[in-house]
Structure 1
Amino acid sequence: MASYYRSPLSIFFSVDFVDEWFLMKSPVPVITITATYLYFVLKVGPDYMKTRKPYNLNSIIIIYNIFQVFVSVYLFYLCMQLMLANGLVSKTCLLEHEDTRRDITNVMYYYFLAKVSELLDTVFFVLRKKTSQVTFLHVYHHAMMAIVSWSILKYEPTYMTIYIRNVNSFVHMIMYTYYCLSALPVLKKYLWWKKYITKLQLVRFFFF
Structure 2
Amino acid sequence: MFQGIRELGSHAMDIYDYLVAGTDQRLKDYPLMQSPIPMSIILLCYLLFVLYIGPRIMANRKPFQLKEAMIVYNFTLVALSVYIVYEFMMSGWATTYTWRCDAIDTSESPQALRMVQVAWLFWFSKIVELMDTIFFVLRKKHGQITFLHIFHHSFMPWTWWWGVSYAPGGMGSFHAMVNSTVHVIMYFYYGLAAAGPRFQKFLWWKKYMTAIQLTQFVLVSLHATQYYFMDSCDYQFPMILHLIWMYGTFFFVLFSNFWIQAYVKGKRLPKHDIKQQNGTAVYANGKHQENGNSINHGATNGSTRHENGSSHMGKMKKA
TM-score (norm 2): 0.58
Greater relative contact order structure (CA < 8 Å, 6+ sep)? 1
Give the letter for the 1:204 counterpart: Q
Unaligned runs of 5+ in 1: 1-12
CA deviation profile, 1:48-88 (whole Å, cap 9, x unmatched): 11111110100000000011000100011111222111222
Letter in 1 for 2:212: L
In the alignment, does 2:61 pair up with 1:86?
no
Letter of the 2:35 partner, please give it: S
Distance of aligned partners of 1:129 and 1:24 in 2 relative to their CA distance in 1, 3 Å threshold? same
Give SS of 1:59's match: helix
| Separation in structure 2 between the aligned mates of residue 93 and residue 195 of structure 1, nearest angstrom | 37
Return 5+ residue gaps in structure 2 as ranges.
1-21, 222-247, 249-319
Q: Does 1:152 align with 2:163?
A: yes
The structure where helix makes up a greater share of residues is 1
- 2:207 aligned with 1:195, yes or no? yes
> 5 Å matches for 1:125-164?
125-164=136-175
Q: What value does the CA root-mean-square deviation take over the aligned residues?
A: 1.8
Are 1:175 and 2:186 matched, yes or no? yes
Give the deviation of 1:162 after TM superposition.
2.3
Q: Does 1:107 align with 2:107?
A: no
Q: Could you state the TM-score of these two structures normalised by the residue count of structure 1?
A: 0.87
Q: Alignment length, in residue pairs?
A: 196
Do residues 124 (structure 1) and 135 (structure 2) align?
yes
The structural deviation recorded for 1:92 is 6.4
Instruction: Compute the displacement of 1:90 (Å).
Output: 5.3
Give 1:4's aligned residue. none
Highest Rg: 1 or 2? Answer: 2
Deviations 1:146-176 (A, max 9, x none): 1111111113334112211111011100000
Amino acid at match of 1:194: K
3-state SS, counterpart of residue 208 of structure 2: helix
1:45 aligns with 2:54: yes
The answer to whether residue 69 in structure 2 is matched with residue 60 in structure 1 is yes
The whole-number CA distance in structure 2 between the counterparts of 1:92 and 1:112 is: 20
